[in-house]
Structure 1
Amino acid sequence: MIYLDYSATTPISDLALKTYMHVSTHYFGNASSLHTCGTDAASIIESARSTIASLLSVTPRSIYFTGCGSEANSSALIALAKGNGRNGKQLVTTPLEHPSVLQTFAYLESQGFTVSKVRVNEYGQVCLSHLRELLQEKTVLVSIGHASAELGTIQDLESIGDIVKEHGALFHSDCVQTFGKVMIPVKEAHLDSFSISSHKVYGPKGAGACYISPQTSWDSFFPHTSHEKGLRPGTVDTAGIAAFAAAAEETYSMQTDIEKKVRKLSEYFTKTVLSEESIILEGHPDKRIPGHFALRFDQREGQYIMLELNRRGIAVSTGSACRSGSSSPPASMIALGRSSEEAHGLIRLSMGKFTTRDDIEKAVEIMQNLASREMTGGI
């Protein structure tokens, strides 16, 4: 199987796997226990916290480990909203956000907050003038992802952050898709909070983290809990966190080389597949996640294309893995002004550090055959 769904998850690296096994074997104590086994595990976690913080140029005490990127989003957003609700009840986001953000905002609506959504242009970029219109004195929190998981479009967080700061609101960004691929402009965008995930950077599943600025007030959804400085309940996964830090550090050290390789493969893919008139690229043509392609086959169902590619040994997706199984069209496509039929045509192909030229050549051949309705069997 040729794997081209790196935006959904990545294979665990050898280093991350070795780290996980080593820590599981030798540092299995509960990090909250006061005996030596516990304090040794706690030391491993604090070392991982410092590693992640160093990669992002933030202070270690601003990093909170979670069970995944989705939990990082929900925990941070609820904590910020609860801790600052006295300042206002309006929340602002976009229709492009990951389900974990939109679902959290739906919950906060049920708790008395109001939610406003910023319009985006035909490429999925936030309309800055509309953002200015939406922001009010009662706006307490803005959450706009660094890049859309489905479209791949990267937002201008610096310009967005300047506008949010002018209005005195808090700014959170879902950076799960961009972590380890492009720089996260923490200071430049005036970010008060952001989320990242282990399994997007060749680490194990079951580990994530959120950053919350030490200058920002917050109040946990879970009162009186003790883990991660009160942000969440539950014994932390020492081995998973250590492997997360190892994978992130390794990915950062290889980031330039991976990006160069992926961009070269992307150039070939663009020249070949996108020369087909019936295959349309959605999202911004240039300002997008390296190696990410949101494609629409004209008048063809995306799920059908995905299944046909799968039958021929190519793994892609029809959008965010966290909305798989949904019969509704991708909200990101509707936000671009696409019809429901067009939106259902979306597939997502994403490359990573293990993708080869041979993989892409085979994928190109099959996709061209599908586009011309030549249903050839096998690879």
Structure 2
Amino acid sequence: MKYFDYAATCPLDREAAEIYIKAATEYYGNTSSLHDTGGQAKELLENCRSEIAQLLGVQKEGIYFTSGGSESNFLAIQSLLSTNLKTGKHIITSMAEHSSITSIMKKLIKEHLYEVTVLPLNPAGQIDIDEVKNAIRKDTILISIQHGNPEIGTLQPLEKIGRLCIENQILFHSDCIHTFGKTDIKQVAQVADSISISGHKFYGPKGIGAVYIHPRLNWQGYYPATTHEKGFRPGTVNVPAIAAMTVAAQKAGKYLNDHHSHYLRLRGAFLQVLEPIRKHYIVYHADASEQLPSTIGMRIKGIEGQLLMLECNRYGFAISTGSACQTGMQLPSKTMEALGITGKSAKEFIRISFGWETTVNDVQLLGNLIVKIVQDTCQS
């Protein structure tokens, strides 16, 4: 099977896997235990915290480890809302956020705790900064905008949004789960009050993630009487997974530029193969400087995305119809809806995403298959 769904999850890097085993067998103590075995695990944990902080360009005191991206987003939002930095009951977010964010917003609305303004994407798949300005109210206390769209790979103007937040004393959270390990997010970490990452998106283990919350904020823990991670979340800290995620993060950071160039080559090669059916498809993207080249979100006109995905799977190619968290619900892509694309057109969406192991030959084979499927469909 040729795998083209790296935006959903990545295989565990071999070096990270070796570190996982070593940590699980040699640093198995509970980090809260006061004996030497617990102390050794605690030392490894704090070294990992320092490394993740360095990769983000932030203070290690603001790093908290979680069970993954969804929990990271949930606890980050709850923590920011607990700070009482500013009085207000209004939040701004986007239509294309991950389900872990949208579910929080629905919960807050249902409980009549906050009003939420949800912004669409412009034709380039980005948040319009003027829309953000117009949405800000005197009682706006939080803005939550993802850094990179997981379905089409567009990057949002977070530095501009961050400056607006500072000017208006608004807290700012960004879901960086799709971008960490694929592009440098240090500038984002400088303007955001909190960001979230997830290990399995950059060749780390599943079930592990992290949150950065600016140490200046005096947040309150969502779970009462919790001691782990300074009260951020309950549960024994998963040191082996944290160590493995840290190794994967270091490796992703080390080869960031090489991987970016590789993805650009793959993207160009794939789209070149599709030239014979150019009039049949639409790729949704931003300018190259504001786009992750490893993620291609597109529609093949007249062919439902799920049918194309199944046909590709039949021939040994794994592609997707969007965010894995939406798969099986048979709902249109949230990104398509955010772009104003509805009905049958929205269900034509497919996503193709590359990894470190993907080759030019791989993408050419997939491209040729899609061309054949489209041409056969048009002739029938």
TM-score interval, smaller chain? over 0.9
Provide Cα deviations, 1:282-303, integer angstroms capped at 9, x if missing partner: 2325332121100111011101
Query: 1:294 corresponds to which residue?
Result: 297
TM superposition score normalised by structure 1: 0.95
Contact conserved, 1:136 with 1:167, CA < 8 A, in 2? no
SS state of the match for residue 82, structure 2?
helix
Provide Cα deviations, 1:190-248, integer angstroms capped at 9, x if missing partner: 21010011111111111100110011232221112111111111111110000000110
In the alignment, the residues of structure 2 paired with residue 238 and residue 185 of structure 1 have an alpha-carbon distance, to the nearest angstrom, of 24
Displacement of 1:186 in angstroms is 3.8
Where do 5+ consecutive residues of structure 2 fail to align? none
Query: 2:160 corresponds to which residue?
Result: 159
In the alignment, structure 1 residue 324 sits paired with structure 2 residue 327? yes
Alignment-mate amino acid for residue 97 of structure 1 = E
Query: 1:349 corresponds to which residue?
Result: 352
The match for 1:281 among 275, 283, 296 is 283
Provide Cα deviations, 1:91-124, integer angstroms capped at 9, x if missing partner: 1100010001111111222341111112321122
Provide Cα deviations, 1:169-200, integer angstroms capped at 9, x if missing partner: 00110001110111114468621010011111
TM superposition score normalised by structure 2: 0.95
The match for 1:361 among 360, 364, 367 is 364
In the alignment, structure 1 residue 18 sits paired with structure 2 residue 5? no
Contact conserved, 1:87 with 1:140, CA < 8 A, in 2? yes
In the alignment, the residues of structure 2 paired with residue 93 and residue 372 of structure 1 have an alpha-carbon distance, to the nearest angstrom, of 40
Contact conserved, 2:174 with 2:195, CA < 8 A, in 1? yes
Provide Cα deviations, 1:268-326, integer angstroms capped at 9, x if missing partner: 11222255221211232533212110011101110111111111111111111111111
Query: 1:183 corresponds to which residue?
Result: 184
Alignment-mate amino acid for residue 282 of structure 2 = I
In the alignment, structure 1 residue 97 sits paired with structure 2 residue 103? no
Displacement of 1:374 in angstroms is 6.0
Distance change in 2, residues 1:86/1:110 (3 Å): farther
Distance change in 2, residues 1:187/1:367 (3 Å): closer
Deviates more, 1:46-55 or 1:281-290: 281-290
Alignment-mate amino acid for residue 284 of structure 2 = E
Query: 1:334 corresponds to which residue?
Result: 337
In the alignment, the residues of structure 2 paired with residue 187 and residue 335 of structure 1 have an alpha-carbon distance, to the nearest angstrom, of 23
Alignment-mate amino acid for residue 271 of structure 2 = T
In the alignment, structure 1 residue 269 sits paired with structure 2 residue 270? yes
Query: 1:147 corresponds to which residue?
Result: 148
Displacement of 1:85 in angstroms is 7.5
Provide Cα deviations, 1:10-66, integer angstroms capped at 9, x if missing partner: 111111000001001111111111111111111111111011011111111111100
Alignment-mate amino acid for residue 272 of structure 1 = V
Provide Cα deviations, 1:135-188, integer angstroms capped at 9, x if missing partner: 112111100000111121111111111122211100110001110111114468
In the alignment, the residues of structure 1 paired with residue 186 and residue 138 of structure 2 have an alpha-carbon distance, to the nearest angstrom, of 25
Contact conserved, 1:157 with 1:185, CA < 8 A, in 2? no
Contact conserved, 1:29 with 1:40, CA < 8 A, in 2? yes
Distance change in 2, residues 1:118/1:189 (3 Å): farther
In the alignment, the residues of structure 2 paired with residue 189 and residue 48 of structure 1 have an alpha-carbon distance, to the nearest angstrom, of 20
SS state of the match for residue 280, structure 1?
strand
Distance change in 2, residues 1:267/1:104 (3 Å): same
SS state of the match for residue 368, structure 1?
helix
Query: 2:73 corresponds to which residue?
Result: 73
Displacement of 1:345 in angstroms is 0.8
In the alignment, the residues of structure 2 paired with residue 296 and residue 70 of structure 1 have an alpha-carbon distance, to the nearest angstrom, of 27
SS state of the match for residue 30, structure 1?
coil
Query: 2:52 corresponds to which residue?
Result: 52
Deviates more, 1:191-200 or 1:213-222: 213-222
Alignment-mate amino acid for residue 222 of structure 1 = Y
SS state of the match for residue 195, structure 1?
strand
Contact conserved, 1:92 with 1:117, CA < 8 A, in 2? yes
Percent of pairs with identical residues: 38
Distance change in 2, residues 1:190/1:87 (3 Å): same
The match for 1:313 among 310, 313, 316 is 316
Query: 2:42 corresponds to which residue?
Result: 42
Query: 2:6 corresponds to which residue?
Result: 6
Distance change in 2, residues 1:187/1:262 (3 Å): closer
In the alignment, the residues of structure 2 paired with residue 322 and residue 44 of structure 1 have an alpha-carbon distance, to the nearest angstrom, of 32
In the alignment, the residues of structure 2 paired with residue 245 and residue 102 of structure 1 have an alpha-carbon distance, to the nearest angstrom, of 28
Contact conserved, 2:90 with 2:114, CA < 8 A, in 1? yes
Query: 2:63 corresponds to which residue?
Result: 63
